[in-house]
Amino acid sequence: MKELFEIFGRYIQQTVQVDTPDELGRTPLQWAVANLMPNAVGILLDHGADLSNFVFPTESYFAMGLEPRHNMFDFKVGLASRAVTVVERFKKRGYELNPSDVLTIMQFLAKYELFKKSTDVEKFWYDDEKFAREAKEVKLNSSLSLYDLI
């Protein structure tokens, strides 16, 4: 995507405006955040997206249309990981989430039951072989898996 910005900018021989809102009044950065696209968020920020007037996506379009492609476990962990990565990218740039931003994220996490407590209190996640196996496969970055993290 970064290369696309550079190629497009050279092609039209001008700087690509990354803060231009669409017909709904939303910027590319708002769409990247709403669709949990941390790489796009990073690229937009690297190319001058302005955080000083940024309005966090509302629940009405935050993570809308995201559907599982494979198993639900991978989908949920992927969503949580992407949401955390987006927030980290913002924090590194000095953006502080306000309470309504946090509420939007919390409602999203609740929608996908990422806070759901196990009904079997005798069975813990670390005793679950399937969870452990799958958690080792979920890479949060090149050197850290979900299993390593927890």
* pTM, to two decimals: 0.68
pLDDT higher at 45 or 112: 45
Q: What is the pLDDT of residues 68-97, one digit of tens each?
A: 777 787 888 888 889 989 999 998 999 988
> pLDDT-based confidence at 121, cuts 50/70/90?
very low
* pLDDT tier at 134, thresholds 50, 70, 90: confident
All structural domains of the chain with their residue ranges: 2-116, 117-150
CA–CA distance, 6 with 18 (Å, rounded to integer): 12
Range 2-116 has CATH code 2.30.29:
no
Cβ-in-10-Å burial (0-12, 13-18, 19+) of 128 comes to middle
**What pLDDT shows up at residue 41?**
92
Q: Distance (Å, rounded) from C-alpha 105 to C-alpha 143?
A: 26
Q: Which residues pair with 97 in a beta bridge?
A: none
Of 67, 5, 8, the residue nearest 36 (C-alpha)? 67
